[in-house]
Structure formats: C-alpha cells, structure tokens
Chain A
Amino acid sequence: MTSKDRILTVEVTDTDGSTFSLREICERGDCHAEFVIKLVNYGVITPLDEVPEMRQWQFDVAALNRLQKALRLQRDLKLNLPGLAMSLELLDEVQDMRREVDRLNQRIRQLMGE
C-alpha cells in the first residue's frame, strides 16, 4: 500500500445542514448564475428560504445534487429547460415509486413471514 492509498478516518460533522450561496452553488456546479436562476424559476431547485433577494438565497446539498444532475442531463441528452424540468420531475416520481414498490414488497414479505 502506498502512502497515497492510506485510509483516513474522518468524522462527519456536516450532514444535511450544509448550505451554499448562489455563488457557491454556481462554482460547484461550474455553471452561470442565470442557469441556476432559471432552474429556480422552473421549480427544478428551490432555495431554502424563497427570499426575493437572490444574494441571500441558500441551497442545501439536495439542491446541489439536483443542479449537478440537471447539468449532466442537459449536457448528455441536450435537453432544453422545460424538458429538463419535466424529466427531473418524472425521474423523481419514478424513484419514489420504485422506493414505494420496494417498501411494499418488503412489507408483503414480512406479512407472509418470509
């Protein structure tokens, strides 16, 4: 094992509490603020408190993930904004349904005593 491969032990102090300003989320997503503002206007991502002053917007980790997902989908599938908004909504719905199906299947197995 080289020194580069050493295993570090890190303690998590920062769970869902992390927030990012508009500037920070743009830096992390490597995109323009206009794009983030459009995503907010389309309801694709939402600041934690919807204050009118954009400089005061704060986004959580889930919003950052969603922004990065939107950027990947836009880059790879050449989706426009309305298409992107609809795709993300449908993907959310599919994910919720998959989770619900998994949950119900699990409940059925428990009820059947398997």
Chain B
Amino acid sequence: MDFKDYYAVLGVSESATPEEIKKAYRKLARKYHPDVSKEADASDRFKDVGEAYEVLKDPEKRAEYDQLRKYGARADGSFQPPPGWQSASGFGGGGYTEADARQFSDFFEEIFGGGRRGGFGGGFRQSMKMRGEDVHARLALFLEEAFNGCEKQVSFMVHESDEQGRLIPRQKTLKVKIPAGMREGQHIRLKGQGAPGVGGGEPGDLFIEVELAPHPHFSIEGRDVLVTVPISPWEAALGATVTVPTVSGKVNVKVPKGATSGRKLRLKGKGFPGKHPGDQIVVLQVAMPEQHTAEAEKLYEKLAELEKGFNPRSKLHV
C-alpha cells in the first residue's frame, strides 16, 4: 500500500495551523469539485483532498497520522502500519462525519477504519427499509449512433450491502438499447437499474446523460445537423445539382445560380429524428482548384475583364 502524504495533497507544511489547513482545503475543494472541474482526474483529486482534510482537521487524527508518517512510511513510498496499530479516533465508532467514508482510500481505511467496514452501522442499515441510490452515468456516442439508435454497454459503480450490512462497491454492467434521435445533454432513465434497495426497499434508477463525440463533417445545433459543402466557382456561378452527405445517406441538392460562400440551404426533415425532426443545414463554401491550366487562366483573365465592376472588398471601403 502506498503512503499518502496528506500535507502534500493539501499543499501545506507539517506545521500548518488549522486555519491554513481549512483555507487550503476550501480552495482545492472548489478547484477539484467534480461538478465544477472538467479535469479528467478531478474526482480522484477531490476525494484525496477530502480525505486529507478529514484527517488533518481533527487534532487527534492528525496527531496519529503524524506518528504514522514518522514511523510507518518507507523510503520507497510504500507504507506499513506498525504492528498492532489501532486508531483511537477512527470512523469505526460511528462518530458523525459529513464526509462519505465509503469514498476514502485503502490507506485511510488501514489507519482509521472506514465506512466500508460498517461505519454507518450495519444493524441500523439492515433493519431499515431504504430505496436504493439513483446512479448517474455519462455515455459518449458517435453522431451516427445517436442518430440511428444503437446498443451500448454501460458500466458504473453501485454500493451494495452484504449480509453484515457492510457497503461494498460493485461494478455493474448493462447493455442499453439507445433509441434513435438522442442528443447531447439528454437523459435516459432506466428504472430500477441503480443501487439495490436496503431491507426490501426498491432499487434506485440509473440516469444516463448522453454526450456526442465530435464528427469530422457534421456539427449539431439543437435538432439540426450542419454540414459545410465545398462547391466549385462555376457551380456557384451557374448553379448545379451536387451530391451532399447526410447522416442517413447521400442526397442530391440543387445549388442556386449565383450562390456565395456561407449561403445556407435547408434540407427539411434530414436532421435529428423525433416527434419534431430537425433539418440539415448545408453551408456552401466556394473552393478553388489548387492549380489552373493555362487555358483556364486565360478564361479567368477574360472573366476579370468582363466583371471589372465587381469589388469583393467594397464593404471594407477599399
């Protein structure tokens, strides 16, 4: 087991006052709160910070920790509590704490005992009928999966009581049939698939929030799907029928004569499916060939002569 340096976690010195510890904790709790931070390891950092504060804010626990830090930590960073070690200020006594001891590390549990060993009182939990916790999970989908519907595997952690009423974390995996037309931020509710109830209570629900992975060609605005479609200068000038991709396949679209870059064409009902299906918005972009033949250059010169009244920079007053 690795040793946890709670002082380093909070970024304070060993001689830090309770005020300094509280201040450091508050600052880091705000920074790493999983509802605030988008950093990948925010949840783990937040747990570490909470665990460190739980120990260092309490003079008794802090004194015990300091002793262990002095004698239990090994040079290679690992940790072994001294033989016969037993905490006098642990969680085992069922003392009130706002922190969720289930979240704490093995290191914490080894020193102080923890919620997983019945910190909330197994008998109390067992004798009470309680509904299981709702579980919230996120699921990233590719655009095509969200558009067409798909079957996805979702894994999440639930806390279950064992025969002694101890809370044991367990990974639960479900295969979920995602309906067509799910969009970013939408929620799916799976009744009874959250944590199991206690003492015959009904299980909680699983709520899945959908996230969409960025697509190389399509972007989403509400129910509408946007795609930028390059067209040639002559297609723009003369009008043309061009093939355009949609999420559900290719379609032919009529580009009007005299189209400009940024012009939007709306394909009704080709956006996200649903009761009120969205549209696909085709944004035209005039693309130039990288090279011209000598003959084409001559034609451009002729065109320049014929269209010399046109100033594309007139809006810039130049």
Contacts and interface: CB of A to CB of B under 8 A. Distances in A.
Interface stretch (B117-125, B213-221, B231-239, B265-273): B213-221
A98 B38 CA distance: 10
Contacts, number: 95
A62 B30 CA distance: 23
B35 interface: yes
Interface of A is mostly: helix
B146 to A, nearest CB: 12
Interface stretch (B8-16, B167-175, B252-260): B167-175
Interface residues of B, number: 48
A4 B170 contact: yes
A75 B35 CA distance: 12
B175 A16 contact: no
B98 interface: yes
Nearest to B226: A107
B280 to A, nearest CB: 14
Contacts of B134: 28, 64, 68
Contact of B219 (A9, A27, A62, A107): A107
Interface residues of A, number: 36
Contact of A7 (B38, B174, B209): B174
A98 B39 CA distance: 13
B58 to A, nearest CB: 17
Interface in A98-114: 98-99, 102-103, 106-107, 109-111, 113
Interface in B170-218: 170-171, 173-179, 182, 184, 186-191, 193, 204, 207, 209, 214-217
Interface of B: 26, 29-30, 33, 35-36, 38, 46, 50, 98, 131, 134, 136, 151, 153, 170-171, 173-179, 182, 184, 186-191, 193, 204, 207, 209, 214-217, 219-221, 226-228, 230, 285
Given A5-B173, A10-B193, A75-B98, 6 more contacts: A9-B176, A12-B188, A28-B204, A64-B134, A73-B35, A99-B184
13 contacts: A4-B170, A7-B175, A9-B174, A12-B178, A14-B189, A18-B189, A75-B98, A76-B33, A77-B30, A103-B219, A103-B220, A106-B214, A110-B227
Interface of A: 4-5, 7-12, 14-16, 18, 27-28, 61-62, 64-65, 68-69, 72-73, 75-77, 91, 98-99, 102-103, 106-107, 109-111, 113
